[in-house]
Each structure stands twice: as structure tokens, then as C-alpha cells.
């Protein structure tokens, strides 16, 4: 989840791998579940393509939050960024 320029960047060999790296693990304290990861392509798509996804993080003690995630191909890797979110 760390990058030299931005703390909230996930990287990977595929768009899904980058999103998995960006989002918290469900075994992390306070996290009940993470939804939407499997809607992100597992295989690398065209490097010119931007992948957008909605990821929902369900917390144990507060309302869930839906995040908009953008995945782009940069420097030979897929990089995922949070671009906005809302409580649901």
C-alpha cells in the first residue's frame, strides 16, 4: 500500500492485484469484509485502458464506505488509487 510518492497506492501485475494491494485485508482489525474486488479484471488488460471499480469496505463498528478506485498502467505496473468515496 505504500509508494514513494503516494501512501495510498496499490501496485500489481494485474488490475485486480493492484486493487488487492490497495484495500485493507478483512483480517485487519476493524474490517468485517471487503466487496467488489472480484469485479476487477484478473488478467492484464490493454495498458492503454483505465479500469474503474467500486469497492465497498464494511467495518465492524461503523457504517460501510464505498470507494471509487481507478487503476492505470504506469511504469510497467498496474497502480490502483482511491479517487473518492462515500458512507453507505
pTM value is 0.84
- 2 inside domain: no
What's the domain count of the chain? 1
- 38 inside domain: yes
Q: Can you tell me the mean pLDDT for 20-39?
A: 92
Distance CA 63, CA 15 (A): 27
- 68 inside domain: yes
- Torsion angle of C-alpha atoms 71, 72, 77, 83, degrees rounded to 10: -50
Alpha-carbon dihedral sign for residues 73, 74, 80, 84: negative
- Torsion angle of C-alpha atoms 2, 32, 56, 4, degrees rounded to 10: 0
- 4 inside domain: no
Q: Would the pLDDT of 56 be above 50? A: yes
**Residue 58 belongs to domain spanning:** 9-87
- 58 inside domain: yes
Provide the 8-state DSSP code for 66: E
Amino acid at each position: 500500500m505504500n509508494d514513494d510518492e503516494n501512501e495510498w497506492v496499490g501496485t500489481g501485475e494485474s488490475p485486480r492485484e493492484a486493487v488487492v494491494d490497495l484495500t485493507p485485508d478483512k483480517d485487519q482489525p476493524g474490517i468485517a469484509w471487503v466487496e467488489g474486488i472480484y469485479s476487477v479484471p484478473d488478467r492484464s488488460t490493454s495498458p492503454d485502458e483505465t479500469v474503474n471499480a467500486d469497492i465497498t469496505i464494511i467495518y465492524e463498528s461503523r457504517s460501510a464506505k464505498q470507494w471509487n478506485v481507478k487503476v492505470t498502467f504506469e511504469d510497467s505496473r498496474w497502480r490502483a488509487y482511491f479517487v473518492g468515496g462515500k458512507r453507505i
